[in-house]
Each structure stands twice: as structure tokens, then as C-alpha cells.
Amino acid sequence: MSGSKLVILGRQGSGKGTQAERVAGRLGLARIATGDIFREAARTGSPYGEQVQAYMREGDLVPDDVVVDVVRQRLAEPDAGEGFILDGFPRTVGQARALDELLDPEHLDLVIELEVPTEVALERLAGRRVCLDCGRTYGPESGPRCARCGGPLATRQDDTEAAIRRRLDLYATQTEPLVEYYLAQDRLASIDGTGDPDAVTSRVLRSIEGRFSRRS
Ligand code: AMP
């Protein structure tokens, strides 16, 4: 399953960042998280960093052409050629169509949708903290520093109540239609994202294995 081309979908607080990182580690894939790329651009003051920061702060979506351009460049890097899992992209049907075009004549192997009820997502978001240096996400029980790189942990700038509400609304109106889009392509696996994170990882890995064994 190395060389897989995967997408993980899920509303904010579904645990998709955590699961994407684990799947990437287990299968040797590049994890490509557009939110991480944008936060890094904002932090380092890259040319488009200031522009995207305004959208992120409000919980709004960065325009499709900007996002697609970033993903096009990232997919051209050598590690992505060995397989990838996209986390946080696509988020609109326009982005999904652009991704299909970028990959043509190849295509995605599987789109994993992590399903969690709104109350669970909100509860997880309330305690969420991220490493300011590497972007790794932690729950409320974490210490003050990142276990991976030692960087300081803080609440995300866009984890305010208003921005969270805005992002959940946008997920429902802009991103949920992707479920239909990928169902029509027969590429969707909907996975229960509640409960113990290790159990969720096992379910995700099983669905990926199932996809590949179905084909061989
Ligand atoms: P995330 O870390 O995935 O929650 O993304 C943080 C923020 O980055 C989002 O609230 C958006 O402002 C922006 N962003 C990330 N990925 C995308 C995308 N695919 N399309 C539009 N905006 C995005």
C-alpha cells in the first residue's frame, strides 16, 4: 500500500489530523496538510502568508485558486511521488475537481471520511492545543511542550468560538457535498471516528487494506 494516494475528510475536531499523521507513518506516505502549510506561510511571512492569515483567523476558506496552486507545488515534490495522504484538502467540490485534474491520468485510491457527532467534535476542539513550531495537535491532557520537537503548545488562533462555528458551518455547506462526489466515484470509506484513537486508527487501516485487497 506504499504509493497510495489517499484523502482524509472530516469536520474540525473529527481527529483527522491525528489519524492522517498515524496513517502516513504506518504506510510511509507523505502527509500533506494544507492548514499546516498555510500556518507555516503565515509564521514565516512568506508572500502569500499575510493574505491567507486573514481567512484563517475568521475561519473562512482560502480561495480555491490559491489552495490548488499550493497543492500542485507540494504534489510535485519527490516524497509525494511515493504516495500521500491529503489532510484538509479538498474542502470544496471545485478543489476536488482540480485534484482529479492534477492527478490525471492517475487517480485517488481511497477517500476516508471520519464521522463524529457535533457534540464530540466541539468537546475535542475545546481542549485542543497545537505546537507552535511543528503544528502537531494535542488534547487537553498534554504538557506545556511538544513531545515531538519540544516546541511550545498553545491554543490555535482560529479556535475561538466564532471561528469554530464558522468552520463547522462551512464544513456542512462546502465540504460535505464531497461525500456524494466521492461516493459517485466509488472511492469513499466512511469510518466511525469516535472512541479510542488507536481503535480509530485500526479501523482506518483496515479500510485501506480492504480497498487494496478488493482490487488484487
Ligand atoms: P485546518 O488546519 O485544516 O483546520 O485549516 C486551517 C485553516 O486554513 C482553515 O480554516 C482555512 O482558513 C485554511 N484552509 C486549510 N485548508 C484549506 C482548503 N483546502 N481550502 C480552503 N482553506 C483552507
Active site residue 128: yes
Asked if residue 163 is part of any domain, the answer here is: no
Q: Which of 91, 124, 129, 136 is catalytic?
A: 91
Task: Give the ligand 1 atom nearest the CA of 163.
Answer: 10
Q: List the residue whose alpha carbon is closest to atom 1 of ligand 1.
A: 35
Domain count, the chain: 1
Asked if residue 131 is part of any domain, the answer here is: no
Asked if residue 135 is part of any domain, the answer here is: no
Active site residue 156: yes
Asked if residue 129 is part of any domain, the answer here is: no
Distance 35 CA to ligand 1 centre (A): 5
Q: List the residue whose alpha carbon is closest to atom 6 of ligand 1.
A: 35
Asked if residue 164 is part of any domain, the answer here is: no
Domain of 183: which CATH number? 3.40.50.300
Asked if residue 90 is part of any domain, the answer here is: yes
Asked if residue 153 is part of any domain, the answer here is: no
What is the predicted pLDDT for the residue at 216? 57
Q: Is 16 in the pocket of ligand 1 (CB under 6 A)?
A: no
Mutate to test the pocket of ligand 1, among 12, 39, 56 (most ligand atoms within 8 A of CB): 56
Active site residue 136: no
Active site residue 74: no
* 129 beta partners: 138
Per-residue pLDDT of the chain (216 residues; tens, 9 = 90+): 668 999 999 999 999 999 999 999 999 999 999 999 998 898 888 888 888 998 998 889 999 999 999 999 999 999 999 999 999 999 999 999 999 999 999 999 999 999 999 888 988 888 889 898 888 888 878 889 999 999 999 998 888 888 888 899 999 999 999 999 999 999 999 999 999 999 999 999 999 999 888 665
The domain of 59 spans: 5-118+175-206
Distance 114 CA to ligand 1 centre (A): 17
Tell me the whole-structure pTM to 2 decimals.
Answer: 0.91
Asked if residue 156 is part of any domain, the answer here is: no
